[in-house]
Chains A and B, each alone.
Chain A
C-alpha cells in the first residue's frame, strides 16, 4: 500500500519567515496530493491541493510543489503569522470509481514565534 513520509515532525520559525514541509510517497499511481491544517483541538481542514498533472500551485502565502519523478511534494508558507501555528498533514490519494483512499503523513507541528 501507499506510504507517505513527512518531515520535519516539528518546526519553529520566527514570524515573517518562511516554513517548508516536505513529503514523499511510495506509490507512483497516486495522483492527488492534498494538505490539511489542524489547529489545536479542531478538525483537519484542506488548505491546498495539487494533482499529478501540475507541478506547482499557489494560493496567497501558501504554495505546493510536486516532483512526480522523485515522488515528493512540499508545502511552502511565506511571511508566516502566529495564526499559521498548527499541525499540517500531507496526504497522497489514488483510486478509481467512486472513492479514493487517502493516506496521511505523520503531521508537522508548526510553531510561529511572534
Chain B
C-alpha cells in the first residue's frame, strides 16, 4: 500500500505547455510538501501545506500553483513550462507537531522533461 503516491511518474512536454502533477498520501499526515530536485541532485523546497493551508511558499515563479483540496492531496500545476523547469518533483508528507516528528515520507518522484 503506497504511502505517498504521485502521478505521473514521467512527463515529457513542450515549452509553453501547462501540466499538472498529482499527489496523495494515505498516512493521515497533516503536512504535505513539494520539493524540486535538479540535475545536480539538490533538493529544494517549493511549497508546504498544513491541513490545506499554505504555510511555506519559497521563491518560486508564480507559474507554479499548488492546490490542496483536502489534507491528503496536494497537486502542483505549472503554466507556460520552460526548459529550466525540467527536474524531478518530489511530493512528501509529515506528521509535524513537534521537533522530531517532521520525518518526511517522499513519493517516488515525477520526472518532468521540457523540450
Whether the pair A99, B48 counts as a contact (CB closer than 8 A) is: yes
As a 0/1 sequence over residues 78 to 114 of chain A, the CB contacts with chain B under 8 angstroms (1 = contact) are 0000000001010001110111111110110100000
Q: Give the residues from 31 to 74 in chain A that come closer than 8 angstroms, CB to CB, to chain B.
A: 31-32, 34, 36, 38, 42-46, 49, 51-52
Q: Give the residues from 60 to 105 in chain B that come closer than 8 angstroms, CB to CB, to chain A.
A: 90, 94, 96-97, 99-100, 102-104
Summarize A's interface: helix, strand, loop or mixed: strand
* Known A43-B107, A43-B108, A44-B90: A99·B102 in contact at CB below 8 Å: yes
Q: Give the chain A neighbours of B56 by CB distance below 8 A.
A: 99, 101
Output the nearest chain A residue to B30 by Cβ-Cβ distance.
A98
Interface size range on B against A: 20 to 34
A95 to B97, CA, bound (A): 9
Whether the pair A49, B106 counts as a contact (CB closer than 8 A) is: no
Whether the pair B90, A98 counts as a contact (CB closer than 8 A) is: no
Q: Give the chain A neighbours of B90 by CB distance below 8 A.
A: 43-44
Total cross-chain contacts (CB, 8 A): 73
Given contacts A43-B107, A45-B106, 18 further A-B contacts (CB under 8 A): A31-B99, A34-B103, A34-B104, A43-B106, A43-B109, A46-B104, A52-B99, A89-B43, A93-B99, A97-B50, A98-B51, A99-B50, A99-B55, A100-B99, A102-B104, A104-B42, A106-B41, A107-B42
**A-B contacts, 14 listed (Cβ < 8 Å):** A32-B100, A42-B108, A44-B90, A44-B106, A49-B103, A52-B99, A93-B99, A98-B30, A98-B31, A99-B31, A99-B50, A99-B102, A101-B45, A101-B48
